Amino acid sequence: MPANDKQYVQHGVAMTCRSFQEYVDMFQLTPDILRRGRILDVAGGASSFVADACKQGCDVIAADPLYAHSPEAIAEHGEANRREATGKLEGLLDVYDWSYYGSLDRHEQIRADSLARFVDDYGRSDQRHRYVSASLPNLPFPDETFSLIVSSHFLFLYDSQFDPDFHIASIQTLIRLLQPGGEIRLYPLSTLARTRYPALDRVLEVVGRAHPNVEVDFVPTPFRFLLMATEYLRIRRA
Ligand SMILES: C[S@@+](CC[C@H](N)C(=O)[O-])C[C@H]1O[C@@H](n2cnc3c(N)ncnc32)[C@H](O)[C@@H]1O
């Protein structure tokens, strides 16, 4: 089968476990921006971003509906998702750009290590307040709480499950939560079918009209995996 015809089949939303370093590389996070103020990781899943960033002195909160679950349940779910993803990738090696990870084995190792650090952190009573059970488009935080909001591999990616109105409402919520001078970084801008999110221009036009105080741009990222996913979306509040 030609590589273009192969699809990553996903029912529902996967709970993946990207590492702190993957976030740093995807979003080009510098020490300065990581320490500017409180950070929100939306759709944090089983990522170790909170765990590792907090160990480095950052102040990070993650939001995800799955944080309603116990540490044991979430560990089991994260491990099942990780194995399932690796199994699917084995059959799709030629449709992704492996220049960042090097190989499926290295990808697997990074994700296994990251999941273990997430599970450990999530199970700690002194860290539990950092994992908030919540779902876009409504997030239970006061206005202007965060200096940086990141979201990796949720918005735009699942376009067949979440329509443009969901994306508009979600981005408007994220803007509400931004402090003046703060920024939102979203990646990737493509769908699971490896095409640019088709309603992106329309979504950004509606958001831009409703929020003349924000500036939107596309910033190149050296992170590589999904073809076409070579930039992140940055939304800055004046
Ligand atoms: C593919 S994972 C991404 C996890 C992590 N950000 C990463 O890059 O590894 C997508 C996550 O989105 C979460 N999710 C699903 N619906 C959501 C919603 N309405 N609002 C916020 N997160 C949601 C899922 O529970 C899942 O953990």
155 lines ligand 1 (CB under 6 A): no
pLDDT tens for the chain, 238 residues: list them: 555 566 767 778 989 999 999 999 999 999 999 999 999 999 999 999 999 999 999 999 999 999 999 999 999 998 999 998 888 888 888 889 999 999 999 999 999 999 999 999 999 999 999 999 999 999 999 999 999 999 999 999 999 999 999 999 999 999 999 999 999 999 999 998 889 999 999 999 999 999 999 999 999 999 999 988 999 999 999 9
pLDDT score, position 193: 86
Number of domains forming the structure of the chain: 1
pLDDT score, position 45: 97
Domain-located, residue 40: yes
Cα(9)–Cα(16) distance, integer angstroms: 15
Domain-located, residue 8: no
Domain-located, residue 92: yes
Q: What is the DSSP string of 190-220?
A: B-TTSSB-TTHHHHHHHHHHH-TTEEEEEEE
Domain-located, residue 192: yes
- Site to probe by mutation for ligand 1, drawn from 154, 166, 167 as the one with most ligand atoms within 8 Å of Cβ, is 154
pLDDT score, position 4: 59
Cα(118)–Cα(51) distance, integer angstroms: 6
pLDDT score, position 228: 86
- The residue among 162, 141, 143, 142 whose CA lies nearest residue 153 is 162
Domain-located, residue 61: yes
156 lines ligand 1 (CB under 6 A): no
Q: How far is CA 60 from the centre of its chain?
A: 14
- Site to probe by mutation for ligand 1, drawn from 13, 22, 152, 225 as the one with most ligand atoms within 8 Å of Cβ, is 13
- Report how far apart, in Å, the C-alpha atoms of 199 and of each of 68, 103, 104, 202 are: 31, 33, 32, 5
Domain-located, residue 9: no
136 lines ligand 1 (CB under 6 A): yes
pLDDT score, position 120: 97
Domain-located, residue 45: yes
Distance 186 CA to ligand 1 centre (A): 12
pLDDT score, position 16: 92
40 lines ligand 1 (CB under 6 A): no
Domain containing 59 equals 15-237
Neighbour order of strands in the sheet with 38-42: 131-132, 59-63, 38-42, 146-152, 178-187, 231-237, 214-220
- Site to probe by mutation for ligand 1, drawn from 8, 60, 64 as the one with most ligand atoms within 8 Å of Cβ, is 64
Domain-located, residue 166: yes
pLDDT score, position 11: 78
Residue 88: what are its φ and ψ, rounded to 5°? -70, -40
- Evaluate whether 136 touches 163 at the Cβ level (below 8 Å): no
CATH number at residue 208: 3.40.50.150
